[in-house]
Chain A
């Protein structure tokens, strides 16, 4: 069964460092999303991406965050200068070509900022 894959599964970084989280969506999917979940809290929307541009973003997604799809397969989330409060599980998700609405999630990347 096709799946969304995310790397790394866990990253530990120092505050102020740049982090790039990578996602490989299912190959024929067109809509991509990043969500995050701070430990013990609910999942929160960060950004949606379609046709090589951001289609919607939350108030969390400030200038420190960026997304891109550099090579037609990878979908990356970059945090330029990490803060302690960026520690969370980050989930990538995608929706298929016919946009049935069913979301396919990756296993998540756990980011720990020290």
Chain B
């Protein structure tokens, strides 16, 4: 069983839609990261969470430590949000990554 599970694996939505990507993990963690991987392969850190909720622009990330679950939300989605979104958890220094959610926003 994977330590980090993401859903859905692929998501296609119309521009403007509210997007939710889910991440469940099975190990104890000190932090959870949401990352964005662009089509060219580069990775950008979006959030690091250890509890509660964080917001940055149109992106919102939440985590429920008891349920070992996190969600990434995108409000008013835009075609430039099209990317792979990766959840990664940090039991210690090494990160364990999910397989990613490929998001495509259609104009």
Contacts and interface: CB of A to CB of B under 8 A. Distances in A.
A3 to B, nearest CB: 10
A105 B94 contact: no
A43 B97 contact: yes
B51 to A, nearest CB: 13
Interface of A is mostly: strand
A93 B42 CA distance: 11
Interface centre among B41, B44, B99, by most A CB within 10 Å? Answer: B41
A91 B43 contact: yes
B90 A101 contact: yes
Contacts of A108: 41-43
Interface string B25-58: 0000001010100001111110010100000000
Contacts of A86: none
